[in-house]
């Protein structure tokens, strides 16, 4: 048992003494200094926990390099796989939107806008003004009520009346 403890201590000393060299080897594979530092730390902990591998006692520096290298390769592969998997999700971000602004679509939208504009113009001034303040200026119903001298409930009814008028104008061809 004392042999295992002294060998584990010797292996820990190797990780401490050659930390920079091990970190450089991991950094060469993963390309990130902080990640390389974490990998060397993880490798040291794993090696100390395993402790019974004969190679760790015969050639501790080679063993340390192998453990760090294997962990770095595993991490590199996992990062590459994750990048590939998430690339599929992100790839849709570069796809252009369907051409919704065809001449026909523009003409249809203009016609609908003209109908809504005509419907709003046919409304009583108070109804139209309440709707414009709410929808176009983003005011609250309470603010509109204060400005027009109405209750919030009345403003709500006026806005609904204007919306119903707009919907009806869009339904008729």
Total domains in the fold of the chain: 2
Round to whole Å and give the CA distance between 75 and 151: 64
Same domain, residue pair 77 and 107: no
Q: How confident is the model at residue 153 (pLDDT cuts 50, 70, 90)?
A: very high
Confidence tier at 1 by pLDDT (50, 70, 90): very low
The predicted structure's pLDDT at residue 98: 65
Q: Are residue 76 and residue 107 in the same domain, yes or no?
A: no
Are 85 and 6 in a shared domain? Answer: yes
CATH code (residue 159): 1.10.10.10
If asked whether residues 126 and 64 sit together in one domain, one would say no
Q: What domain range includes position 111? A: 103-171
Assess contact for 166 and 116: CB atoms under 8 A: yes
Work out the average pLDDT over 91-120.
79
Do 107 and 66 share a structural domain?
A: no
Domain's final residue, options 65, 94, 123: 94
DSSP per residue, the chain: -HHHHHHHHHHHHHHHHTHHHHHHHHHHHH--HHHHHHHHHHHHHHHHHH---HHHHHSHHHHHHHHHHHHHHHHHHHHHHHHHHHHHHHGGGGSPPP----HHHHHHHHHHHHHHHHHHHTS-HHHHHHHHHHHTS---HHHHHHHHT--HHHHHHHHHHHHHHHHHHHH--
| Domain-ending residue, one of 39, 61, 94 | 94
18 and 86 together in one domain: yes
Does 14 share its domain with 76?
yes
Q: Are 88 and 133 found together in one domain?
A: no
Final residue before a domain boundary, out of 94, 116, 133:
94
Identify whether the C-beta of residue 15 lies closer than 8 Å to the C-beta of residue 26: no
Q: Is the pLDDT of residue 136 over 90?
A: no
**Residue 53 sits in the same domain as residue 137:** no
Within this chain, do residues 12 and 75 fall inside the same structural domain, yes or no? yes
Whether 87 and 109 share a structural domain: no
Indicate if 64 and 139 belong to the same structural domain. no
- Greater confidence (11 vs 134) lies with 134
């Amino acid at each position: 048992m004392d042999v295992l403890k002294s060998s584990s201590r010797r292996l820990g000393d190797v990780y401490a003494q050659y930390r920079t060299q091990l970190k450089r080897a991991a950094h060469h594979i993963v390309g990130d200094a902080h990640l390389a530092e974490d990998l060397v730390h993880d490798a040291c902990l794993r090696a100390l926990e395993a402790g019974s591998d004969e190679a760790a006692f015969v050639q501790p520096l080679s063993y340390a390099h192998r453990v760090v290298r294997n962990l770095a390769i595993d991490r590199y592969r996992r990062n590459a796989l994750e990048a590939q998997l998430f690339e599929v999700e992100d790839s849709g971000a570069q796809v252009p939107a369907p051409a919704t602004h065809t001449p026909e679509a523009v003409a249809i939208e203009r016609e609908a806008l003209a109908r809504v504009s005509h419907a709003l113009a046919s409304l009583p001034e108070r109804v139209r003004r309440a709707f414009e303040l709410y929808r176009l200026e983003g005011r609250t119903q309470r603010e509109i009520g204060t400005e027009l001298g109405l209750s919030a409930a009345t403003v709500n009814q006026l806005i609904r009346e204007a919306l119903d008028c707009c919907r009806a104008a869009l339904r008729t061809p």
